[in-house]
Amino acid sequence: MVLNDSQDSPSEAKDDEVPRKPDAIRYFILVRFAGKHSVRNYVGQIINKPDALEYSVKYMRCHNAQKGVFVRPEQEDISLVDAGIVIMTLPTPAIGHWDAGMVPIYTADKEVFRDMLHLFDPRFDCPRREQLSRTIIPSLYTKLRNQVGRDIQEAQCDGWSSIAKDSYMSLTAHYIDNDWNLVTRGLKTQYHPEAHTGENLADFYKEALGEFGLKTGFAVTLTTDSTTNMVALARLAGFRRLPCIGHMLHNAVSKSLETDKVRQLLAHCRKIVALVHCSQPYRIKLRNVQKGLHMKENQLINDVVTRWESKYKMLERMLERVNYQATNQIFIKDKKYRSYVITGSQVSLMETLLKTLKGFQELTDFL
């Protein structure tokens, strides 16, 4: 694909060009050939890498200059390219991969975006939003769905709520491809206002599998958490259930933190974090104290009930660069909130908890 047309023969690029080198086969790249009077830019795909400084590139060509359609030539158009004339790597030059970067579809209708593409290549006609949403993306989805349906071996089911408290169900498949790579595919995420009973979840699961031409029982295992409705789902759908390791770890650690002293410590830290987060005057006071102590101005972290590691991070941030000393300086002078001062015994307990839970935190991050 020629972006800037010229009749000069190619030569080496300018020495002051600093390209971003690709390091993987199948990357699309922009190659610059500089002649005596003009410069040609070509788009090609790396198909081989003979050595660290050279690539074997298969070029794209213009099929219809007026419509801006670019295809591979019928005859192989391959050449060796020195790494020094590679300007940059590119996203796959197919509009069908528009959604790979999570770019909103309406971007295709924005004049600024279309003007930018026209500046890059006046011959390219970017499809409009309607064509993307009604034709191109559905076609790609169908193609990918059929491919995934042939490869899936294991599935994971989960329910969650959005920030607006709307209930959703999602289904994720995990499998190993022919090259022994672990692949993860999100099959379906659907608004699910019905009660999350085992029967309703089983119906959702069967419907989702049906869209991919699969039947219940196809997978080796079904991974879920340990709630009764998920256990019922596996039983009703006829799957061998594999408990979620992350959920089991969360339950085990959370249970170990249910002692009186730990609960009191966590509640005490939550009160401090909530006050600083909700009150701008106290946020400003904390920031000023941190500056006075030459500390990094980090925000305090609150914990979340469904993630035990958030408790670890809340305590870690409280001890980090002795943030508790900064909060103590604020509350010790405040009659209303003097009870928020963190005591020496609480500091010792925080240090013990962090030391004990460090291994579990590393395992959780790994998962």
- Residue 21 is predicted with a pLDDT of 45
CA distance 235 to 227: 13
CA distance 52 to 181: 24
- Residue 219 is predicted with a pLDDT of 60
Class of domain 152-243: alpha beta
Q: Which residues are CB-neighbours of 169 under 8 A, at least 6 positions away?
A: 157, 158, 159, 188, 189, 190, 192, 196, 201, 204
Highest mean pLDDT among 8-12, 37-41, 91-95: 37-41
Q: Write the DSSP symbol of residue 307.
A: B
Higher-confidence residue of 129 and 266: namely 266
CA distance 48 to 60: 16
For the chain, give the mean pLDDT: 76
**Secondary structure (3-state) at 21:** coil
CA distance 324 to 351: 12
Highest mean pLDDT among 112-121, 177-186, 285-294: 285-294
Residue range 44-53: mean pLDDT, rounded: 73
In this predicted structure, the answer to whether residue 274 has a pLDDT above a threshold of 70 is: yes
267 sits in which H/E element: helix 260-278
pLDDT confidence band for 22 (50 / 70 / 90)? very low
Contact 313, 299 (CB under 8 A): no
Residue range 29-47: mean pLDDT, rounded: 70
Q: Which of 28, 82, 78 is nearest to 52 (CA)?
A: 82
Contact 25, 46 (CB under 8 A): yes
Q: Which of 70, 111, 109, 107 is nearest to 90 (CA)?
A: 70
- Residue 8 is predicted with a pLDDT of 41
Contact 79, 55 (CB under 8 A): no
| pTM, 2 dp | 0.54
Q: How many residues does the chain have?
A: 367
Q: Which of 19, 9, 35, 5 is nearest to 121 (CA)?
A: 5
Higher-confidence residue of 12 and 204: namely 204
- Residue 193 is predicted with a pLDDT of 85
- Residue 163 is predicted with a pLDDT of 66
- Every domain of the chain and the residues it spans: 1-93, 96-151, 152-243, 251-366
pLDDT tens string 193-233 = 888 888 888 888 888 877 777 766 566 677 888 888 888 88
Query: Among 20-29, 64-73, 78-87, 318-327, which is the least confidently predicted range?
Result: 64-73
- Residue 97 is predicted with a pLDDT of 44
Neighbours of 138 (CB within 10 A): 11
Q: Write the DSSP symbol of residue 64.
A: E
* Percentage, residues of the chain above pLDDT 90: 14
Residue range 261-266: mean pLDDT, rounded: 93
**Secondary structure (3-state) at 174:** strand
Q: Which of 67, 206, 59 is nearest to 123 (CA)?
A: 67
- Residue 152 is predicted with a pLDDT of 65
